[in-house]
Structure 1
C-alpha cells in the first residue's frame, strides 16, 4: 500500500468516532485536508451541534457526475477482546487493523488519497464527496445531507457507497424498520396478582402476535437475497424488578428487515390494531392507566438498482469485476436512490471483519480500491 493511503488511514483510525461520540474532530481534519488542496467543503450540522456531515465537490459546475460516499462513525468496542489497540493502525502480514478499518475508513482513506489525482485532471463532470454520521445507528445523519442536496442547484447523478464488499459491485440490500414497544400496567404484591396488570405477560402476547406476522412476511421471496424473504426478530426486552412484584412496565425492541419491494406498513398497522383492540381493553379493565406505545427507532429503505444499467456497466469496468450481488446488511444507498441518485455499493474489505474485535482491511483490498478510483478518474477525464 502506498504511504499516503496508509498515513491517512492511520489518522482516521485514531479518531474515536463511535456513534455515541462526536465526529467533529475527524470532520475538522478532513475539512483541513480538503482546504489544503483548494477544495471547499460544506458542513451540515446536527441540531445539537455535536456531529456533522461534510460535502464537497470538484470539477465543472452543473448537474450530474459521480458521488463517493461513506460514513464516518463506527460501532463500539465495548466488551470485545482486542489484541491490538482499536483506535490506532496496526500493520501485520498484509492487514491493517483498527476499528473502522473495513467499515469503512479504509474506503474514506482511499478517497482522500486519490483526491490529488482527480484535481490534476480536467474532469468533464463533477466529482462529489459525501461524508456522513450516524449510519451505524439507523442511517440517521445522511438524511440532512440528502435534504441539502435536494435543494442544491447541482445534484450528482450516480453514487458509489464504499461499504466493504471485497470490491465486488453490489446492487441491492434489504430495508429496515426498528421499533420499540412500551407497555405500562399496574404493579402490586405478587400475592394479589389479579389486582395488577402484568406488563411482561402482555408483552409476551404482543411478541407472539408479531411472530405470526413473521410467518406472513416469509411468504414473499426473492432469490437474489439471503435469506430470500423479509424477516422480523425481537432483539431486546426489559421488564420487572423483583419476583414478588407484578411488573408494571416492560419494553421490547424489534426489527423488520424487508425486501426492497415489500411494504411493511401493514405489519406495523396490524400490530397497533392488536394492541389497541385486543390487549388494551383487557389491561384497562383492571387498571385504566394501562397503555401500549410504539416508537420508531430508525428506518431506511432497501436498495435495488438495475444491474444491467449503464451505471452498473461502468462500475464493473472501474472495479474490474462484473459479478454483481446483494448484501445482507443495510446502507444509506436506498435513501440516495429515493432522492433520484442512482446508487451502487463497492468498497474494500469484508463485513466478515466489520463490527468484530481485531477488525482489519487487507492491503490488497486497499490496492484494488485505489485502482478503481484511478479508473474512475480516467473515465471522468474523458
Structure 2
C-alpha cells in the first residue's frame, strides 16, 4: 500500500467524530477498506449508533487477537490550534483527536493486516482484529465480544493502545461508585429538626476511605509497585446556604490491583455503609457504576519477546538527542514508569483497557501485551503522534503477523 493511502485511512478515521458514540460509522468505514482488499470482516451493531467490527486474515490455530477501540474522548475546540477532526500534518507530526488514542493504532492494525494478506501471510494461523466501541467509558464493545465468544479460542492478545516503545503487560482495574446520602431538609437555624445529607456523606466517605486503605495499604503490586488507590472525584450537595441539605451525592474511583481484587474492595464498601446506616440517622445508598478487573499478563511471554526483537531496530533508529532522552525520562517519571534509552522495556502501568473485559476469565498469566503508537498526549488538546512512529508501527505489526506464526517458541 502506498504511503499516501496509509495516511488517508488515518485521515478518514480522524474525520469521523466518535466522541462518546458513532462507532457504527467508523466500523462501516473500516468495512469498506477491508472489502476493497478482500479481507474477511463483519460489523456487529450494538445499541443506537454504536458497533464493533471483527476482521480476520489467515486460518486455523494459533490465533493472535489484536484489538483497539474506535471511540475518542471529548474536545474543547477553543484549545485546539486546528480542527480536531481534520488530520493536520506539521513538523513531522500528525495532529487530531485520536491520533494517539488510538486511531493511529487502529489504522496501523488495519493496514498491516491488509499488507500481510497480500503477502499471503500468515500461512499457519489467524490474526483476528476486534475493533471495539465505548472503551473510554463503559467497555460495552469489549464486553459484547467476550459474550460472543470472540476470545474463547484466542492464544494471545495484543492491544494497540498508545504506549510508544514500551510494552505493558500488567495494569490496574477500576471500581467506580456512586454514593448517595438521603437526609431531611430543615432551616439552618434549627438543624436538629433535619438530617444533614452533606455531613453524612462526608462522614461515610471518610469511613469508606479509611477502611479500604487500612485493609489494602500493605498489599503492594510487585509489578506496579503501588497499592490500591482511592480517589473522591465528584461531590454534589445542598441547595442554598441557609437550608440543611436533604440530599448529597459523590462519585469515587478506586484503582485496584490483582493482589487485592475488586470483589474484596466492594465487600469493604458494602460493610462500611451498612455499619454507618445502623448507627446514624438518614440513609446512605450506593451503586457500582464501573467494575473493571485488573490484568496481570505473563511478563515472559513469547509475544512480548517477539515484539521486543522486531521493534528494537526501529527504537534504535530514533537516535534521540540527549535533550530528547531527558524529555522521555521526565515523561516516564510523571507517569511513574521506568525508561531506558537503549532497549524496549516490558512493564506494568496504572490505567485500564478493554482487556478487563476481553480477558475476564484469564486475568492473570495470559499471553497479553499493550503496544501501540503514541506518546503522552492522549486526551489532551492538540493531541498528536510522530508520523515516523505511525509508519514504523505498521511495519512492526506486519512483521509480527508473519513471525508470530513461524518463529521458534524458544527464540
Q: Same fold (TM over 0.5)?
A: yes
What corresponds to 2:53 in structure 1?
54
Shift of 1:218: 2.3
List alignment gaps of at least 5 residues for structure 1: 284-289
Partner of 2:10: 9
Corresponding position: 1:348 with 2:373: yes
Report how far residue 343 of structure 1 moved. 1.7
Shift of residue 232, structure 1, vs aligned partner: 0.5
CA distance in 2, matches of 1:347, 1:292: 43
Partner of 2:398: 374
What residue in structure 1 maps to residue 201 of structure 2? 203
Q: 1:181, 1:293 within 8 Å by CA — same for their partners in 2?
A: yes
Aligned counterpart, 2:340:
none
| 8 A Cα contact 1:44 1:145, kept in partner | no
Pairwise CA distance, 1:50: 2.4
Q: Against the structure 1 CA distance between its residues 53 and 339, is the aligned structure 2 distance closer, same or farther, given a 3 Å change threshold?
A: farther
Q: Distance in 2 between matches of 1:267 and 1:3?
A: 50
Contact 2:43–2:51 (CA under 8 A) maintained in structure 1: yes
SS at match of 2:345: coil
Give the alignment's TM-score, normalised by structure 1.
0.90
Q: CA deviation at 1:192?
A: 2.0
When structure 1 is superposed on structure 2, of 255-264 and 64-73 the one drifting more is 255-264
Matches within 5 A, 1:196-345: 196-212=194-210, 213-225=212-224, 228-283=226-281, 290-320=282-312, 322-340=344-362, 342-345=367-370
Deviation (angstroms), 1:235: 0.5
Corresponding residue for residue 287 of structure 1 = none
Off by >6 Å, runs of 4+ in structure 1: none
- Where 1:222 maps in the other structure, the secondary structure is coil
Q: Deviations over 1:90-147 (max 9, x none)?
A: 1111111111110000111111222321212142111101100111114332101111
SS of structure 2 residue aligned to 1:271: helix
CA contact under 8 A between 1:43 and 1:53: conserved in structure 2?
A: yes
- The separation in 1 between residues aligned to 2:350 and 2:264, in whole angstroms, is 23
What is the CA distance between 1:312 and its match in structure 2?
A: 2.1
How many equivalent residue pairs? 369
- Offset at 1:296? 1.3
Tell me how far apart the structure 2 counterparts of residues 23 and 68 of structure 1 sit (CA, whole Å): 18
Q: Decide whether the 8 Å contact of 2:221 with 2:259 is kept in 1.
A: no
What secondary structure does 2:351 align onto? coil
Tell me the secondary structure at the aligned position of residue 171 of structure 1. Answer: strand
Query: Distance between the aligned counterparts of 2:359 and 2:207, measured in 1?
Result: 33
Q: How far does the alpha carbon of each residue in 1:245-290 deviate from its partner, in whole angstroms, 9 at most, with x for none?
A: 111111101011122222243332232223223235421xxxxxx4
3-state secondary structure, aligned to 1:101: coil
**CA distance in structure 2 between the aligned counterparts of 1:325 and 1:292, rounded to whole angstroms:** 40
CA distance in 1, matches of 2:26, 2:140: 18
Compute the displacement of 1:215 (Å).
4.2
Alpha carbon RMSD of aligned pairs, Å? 2.1
2:326 corresponds in structure 1 to none
CA distance, structure 1, for counterparts of residue 384 and residue 239 of structure 2 = 41
- Cα deviation digits, residues 5-46 of structure 1 (max 9, x gap): 211111111111112x32211111111111222233233332
What secondary structure, in the 3-state scheme, does the structure 2 residue paired with 1:294 have? strand
**1:225 alignment partner, SS class:** coil
Residues 14, 86 of structure 2: 8 Å contact kept: yes
The structure-2 alpha-carbon separation of the partners of 1:22 and 1:38, relative to structure 1 and needing over 3 Å to count, comes to: same
Residues 1:12 and 1:64: Cα distance change in structure 2 (over 3 Å): same
State the TM-score, normalized to the length of structure 2.
Answer: 0.84
Contact 1:57–1:126 under 8 Å retained in 2 = yes
Contact 1:168–1:325 under 8 Å retained in 2:
yes
Distance 1:339 1:29 in 2: 32
Equivalent pair of 1:199/1:250 in contact (CA under 8 Å): yes
